[in-house]
Structure 1
Amino acid sequence: MLKDGGKLFPQRLLFGFLFWLFIYALASCEPKEEIITTDTSAQLEFSTDSVKFDTVFVNTTSVSRAVWVYNRHSKAVKITEIKLGLANPAYRLVVDGQETNQVNNILLRGEDSLLVVIKVKIPPTPDTAAFIQTDVLSFLTNTNRQRVALVSYGQNAYFHSKTEITVNTIWKADKPHVVYGSVNVAAGVKLEIEKGAKIYFHKDAALVINGRLEVKGAANKRVLFTGDRRERLYAAVPGQWQGIKFEATSTNNSIQFADIKNATFGLWVANPDQDETDYDLKISQSVIQNMYETGILSYGADVQATNILITNCGQSAVMGLGGGNYEFTYCTLANYTVGFRPGSVTLLFSDRLKVANGPNQDYRVKLSLQNSIVWAGKHGSDTAQDQILLKNEGKTTPVLQLNHSVLQTKNYLNHPAFVCCDNLLDVDPKFKAPIGGESINQPNFRLDTLSEVSNTARVIPAVIKDLEDKNRHLTTPDPGAYERLNP
């Protein structure tokens, strides 16, 4: 029935119109980026079309990589599924904190992104050579199937975990060696490492020698000591493992054709026996690089080094405390210390070893530098910052034999041992590409063609090869570890 002259019906009509107008207004307030589109053209984009894992050791902790997923459309999309296409057990996914091999119905707002983490842990296989594990990361959105390839290079290894070696042992080169914790070589026992062997150390791991170490690398099969993080990001990161330690009972150690990288210290040698009849350590044709502290740290030991490069150490390339006998021939000690403390001294020797809760141990320093380069480049506006420091705390008399070497020094410009014997003081050797900028991973310490120090070394008949086993020049060799022009 109509009341009040038929006015009720128009009022109801007006109320209904306003109600639906309100509902429409609410719907129109929904953000556009949350409105789901089913348009098949709204495809996903990815930060990469393939994910590559560098060589991963089997049965070790998982390694992770990330893929960013982008929705470039202005509206939201529903990702019906994200899964591993081949269901390879080596791989797992982490999406929104959930570890799985498949997730469903993920809403990705317009102009938004999603992080998908892929983890790989490769199970053991009988292979000795590297092998490949593959899978695909598959996405289904609005009937579109899109894929990102997953590729991992796996490798079996010998694993050493908190091991003590009590009999003479050979580490073979057929598979890598991975060290967890410390491997201790007992007194009176020899560990021999074959040419071409690769030794990888987990965080805080060390090789501790109480007996004897013999590293038998070759020019074409060098021995590698480095951290077990094999991603490119860690290629030149110091401090990934402790280093190689030679305790007081260890003597007659030898290292040939080795690369020692990315540790806290390279070689830690403690043998203050004040006996120079033989060397505690002989190292030749080797590289020590990217040490968080020191390349060679000696406590009164006797060390002979020939054709070696030491560079990028947080403290010193060589630090000898408590005296000792040190012989460096055709060595390049170039401590550029990228990202470390400025002003670190490349060579530091002291005749005093300070002993906690005991008397100091004082013994003279005997130092021979022949045909070697000690240089660390420019620091600030100073092109000749001193890179050699001889501390005479015990008031002993050092024995110095320096000849035909390139030495970066201020303090010893008038010292008789430095100014004699055709040494070149504060003459820039002009390396081709010392560490810095793009050359941090692949520095080049060969002499440039314009180097003033080239051909200034003297012939040493007993040393006719350089670090790379190339012939030294017969009459005018180069100082340092590398020969620029071979005969």
Structure 2
Amino acid sequence: MRFLLPLLLVLSCITVLLPGCEPKEDLLTKDSSAVLEFSTDTVKFDTVFTSVGSVTKRLWVRNRNPRAVKVEEISIESQPGVTYSLLIDGDAATTARDKVIRGKDSLLILVRATIDPTPSDEKPFLVENNLRFRTNGNDQQVKVVSYGQNAYFHSAERLACNTIWKADKPHVIYGYALVDSTCTLTIEPGARIYSHAGAFLVVKGRLRISPNYRPTGEVKADDRNIVRFQGDRREKDYAELPGQWGGIEFDASSHDNEIRFTELKNASFGLLIYNPYNRQPRPKVTVENCSIRNISSYSLDFASGGLALQGAALLGLSGDFTVRNTLITNCWEYAIWGVQGSVYQLDYCTIANYVYAPPGSSSSSLIRLTPSVLLSDNIKINNQTRPVVSPQFTMRNSILWAQPRLTFDGTSQDELTFLNGERYASNINISNSVLLTKQYTTGPLSQDKNGNILNPTEGPNYLFKSTPSRPRGKAYNFELDTLSPASNKGVPLPSLTTDLLNRPRDPATPDLGAYERKNP
């Protein structure tokens, strides 16, 4: 008997060492349902790197399964200006393989970002990458976001009331920046706003851009006092690429918005009023001395309203726009799209909707199937047609032109479309404007009156100084050519005595469009 106890101890040890008796948490599973969980879905390096180069963040990788899993690969790629490394089990690398996480256990990964603090016009403000995990045939990702330049960062931020965005440093929007319904955001002249992919500035209250700016002389296109919105990618290939960020959205409670001396480019939407249930009073946006260009979007679903929307420089769902001295160009779907009660007042505007790819692209011209301006008096929400509300459209001393394009049914090109227009014909008032339209040369909605110039034969060649179909130099220029049919065809509007660039207009016979032609 005295040998029995030692024998039992030996047998117990041998039993533990047998493969069939290996602890459950050490047994590997190859089940594809055995996925990983993470302590966060985004590792964010929210320190602004202006003088210090690197910082480290923690990420816990959890295995909730009762058995062990083998992570076949953990990897992350570096980006220009940002170098990433991982620290796993004391090893620093950008890639690790065959890491085993026991059942009901976790793995700690230290993610280190080293960012070049040297300022550069080519370096993006935000760098987004993916930390990748491959386990049992499953590919999982954790976003890694790094701020690469000195700026004000607004990440899914509800702004404090009566916020002022200063011009001393750029502002960067990640996700969204929200102006609440009782609040006002004021943006100072010269501010720069860069938005990450898909980001929106959402205005439930009021937005005021350069409300008190009164220039005393000519404001050239590169003037430092112009407020500029664009995507956060700074590389040259992105300089004129549409659809890089969402745009500015005004919700149903928004009111008394004022946007002056502003350039907005490279978005899915320029200015979007989203009031699909026609809440009263309707949101109002006044736009003065602005440029909106490079606008495009695939259809976007607004889940709350059951709507699919295409890109537009000015998109009004039951909202009112007053637009003066403004240029709209390169909109791949619509320049203006208004439905169900939208009110548009356009004075001295140029819609030069040439659709062109950025310089260096394989195509210099793209196909657009939609008219530049489309208005309708109804809308469907969740497949139900809302009550008919007639839109209003007034255009004075303006230009609506575009390059030739395809149509769905092979008919003549028309850049002006009023769906169900006969029901609100009395709400349409276009005068002293150049129009590219075949549909409205005759009939009850004819625009061959009120001093309008329809389809001038010299339009494609001499309307503007430089276009994609008639390029002169590296940049397109939508000021009037010396032989333009729009020269001296306007009627003076007493409240508007200067053009987009703040140059004085001829007091007797002003030019049409956003630009008054300078005398040689």
The TM-score, its normalising length taken from structure 2, stands at: 0.63
State the Cα deviation string for residues 152-173 of structure 1 (Å, max 9, x = none).
Answer: xx85211111100141100000
Which of 478, 483, 487 in structure 1 is aligned with 2:516? 483
CA distance in 1, matches of 2:175, 2:473: 29
Corresponding residue of 1:79: none
Q: Is contact 2:367-2:406 (8 Å) kept?
A: no
CA deviation after TM superposition for structure 1 residue 457, in Å: 0.8
> Do residues 226 (structure 1) and 242 (structure 2) align?
no
Which of 312, 323, 330 in structure 2 is aligned with 1:312? 330
What amino acid sits opposite 2:428 in the alignment? L
Q: Is contact 1:242-1:265 (8 Å) kept?
A: yes
After superposition, the Cα gap between the structure-2 partners of 1:337 and 1:398, relative to the gap in structure 1 and judged at 3 Å, is: farther
After superposition, the Cα gap between the structure-2 partners of 1:279 and 1:330, relative to the gap in structure 1 and judged at 3 Å, is: farther
Matches within 5 A, 1:67-466: 121-123=115-117, 155-216=149-210, 218=213, 219=219, 220=223, 221-271=225-275, 280-292=284-296, 293-338=311-356, 339-356=365-382, 358-379=384-405, 385-392=413-420, 395-415=423-443, 418-427=447-456, 428=459, 430-435=463-468, 442-466=475-499
CA distance in 1, matches of 2:414, 2:121: 50
2:402 is paired with a residue of what secondary structure? coil
CA distance in 2, matches of 1:207, 1:333: 24
After superposition, the Cα gap between the structure-2 partners of 1:361 and 1:156, relative to the gap in structure 1 and judged at 3 Å, is: same
Identity, % of aligned pairs?
Answer: 38
Corresponding residue of 1:3: none
After superposition, the Cα gap between the structure-2 partners of 1:131 and 1:442, relative to the gap in structure 1 and judged at 3 Å, is: closer
1:480 is paired with a residue of what secondary structure? coil
Bigger shift: 377-386 or 469-478?
A: 377-386
What amino acid sits opposite 1:369 in the alignment? M
After superposition, the Cα gap between the structure-2 partners of 1:192 and 1:247, relative to the gap in structure 1 and judged at 3 Å, is: same
CA deviation after TM superposition for structure 1 residue 473, in Å: 1.1
CA deviation after TM superposition for structure 1 residue 250, in Å: 0.4
2:326 is paired with a residue of what secondary structure? strand
Corresponding residue of 1:472: 505
Q: Is contact 1:323-1:364 (8 Å) kept?
A: yes
What amino acid sits opposite 1:255 in the alignment? I
CA distance in 1, matches of 2:471, 2:83: 35
State the Cα deviation string for residues 339-392 of structure 1 (Å, max 9, x = none).
Answer: 543332110000112111544231112110100000002348999721000001
Q: Is contact 2:282-2:319 (8 Å) kept?
A: no
CA distance in 2, matches of 1:334, 1:440: 18
CA deviation after TM superposition for structure 1 residue 270, in Å: 2.1
Bigger shift: 378-387 or 440-449?
A: 378-387
CA distance in 1, matches of 2:271, 2:227: 15
Bigger shift: 169-178 or 357-366?
A: 357-366
Bigger shift: 237-246 or 425-434?
A: 425-434
After superposition, the Cα gap between the structure-2 partners of 1:207 and 1:91, relative to the gap in structure 1 and judged at 3 Å, is: closer
Q: Is contact 2:151-2:170 (8 Å) kept?
A: yes
Unmatched runs of 5 consecutive residues or more in structure 2: 1-46, 54-79, 86-91, 95-112, 124-147, 214-218, 297-310, 357-364
CA distance in 2, matches of 1:441, 1:380: 26
CA distance in 2, matches of 1:453, 1:419: 16
Bigger shift: 198-207 or 279-288?
A: 279-288
CA distance in 2, matches of 1:394, 1:370: 21
State the Cα deviation string for residues 6-26 of structure 1 (Å, max 9, x = none).
Answer: xxxxxxxxxxxxxxxxxxxxx
Q: Is contact 1:432-1:445 (8 Å) kept?
A: yes
Q: Is contact 1:352-1:393 (8 Å) kept?
A: no
2:325 is paired with a residue of what secondary structure? strand
Q: Is contact 1:130-1:156 (8 Å) kept?
A: no
Alignment root-mean-square deviation, CA:
3.5
State the Cα deviation string for residues 94-149 of structure 1 (Å, max 9, x = none).
Answer: 9xxx989xxxxxxxxxxxxxxxxxx98334x9xxx98999xxxxxxxxxxxxxxxx
CA distance in 1, matches of 2:327, 2:396: 14
CA distance in 2, matches of 1:361, 1:317: 25
What amino acid sits opposite 1:202 in the alignment? H
Unmatched runs of 5 consecutive residues or more in structure 1: 1-56, 63-88, 101-118, 134-153
What amino acid sits opposite 2:438 in the alignment? K
Q: Is contact 2:180-2:205 (8 Å) kept?
A: yes
Instruction: Give the total of aligned pairs.
Output: 359
Q: Is contact 1:322-1:352 (8 Å) kept?
A: yes
CA distance in 2, matches of 1:369, 1:132: 40
CA distance in 2, matches of 1:295, 1:132: 27
What amino acid sits opposite 1:353 in the alignment? I
State the Cα deviation string for residues 375-434 of structure 1 (Å, max 9, x = none).
Answer: 002348999721000001894555111110000000000146511111000011621112
State the Cα deviation string for residues 196-218 of structure 1 (Å, max 9, x = none).
Answer: 00000011111000011001175
CA deviation after TM superposition for structure 1 residue 59, in Å: 3.8
The TM-score, its normalising length taken from structure 1, stands at: 0.67
CA distance in 1, matches of 2:114, 2:327: 36
State the Cα deviation string for residues 33-88 of structure 1 (Å, max 9, x = none).
Answer: xxxxxxxxxxxxxxxxxxxxxxxx9549x9xxxxxxxxxxxxxxxxxxxxxxxxxx
After superposition, the Cα gap between the structure-2 partners of 1:272 and 1:440, relative to the gap in structure 1 and judged at 3 Å, is: farther
Pair member with larger Rg: 1
1:233 is paired with a residue of what secondary structure? helix
Q: Is contact 1:271-1:280 (8 Å) kept?
A: no
Q: Is contact 1:362-1:394 (8 Å) kept?
A: no
State the Cα deviation string for residues 166-188 of structure 1 (Å, max 9, x = none).
Answer: 41100000000011111111101
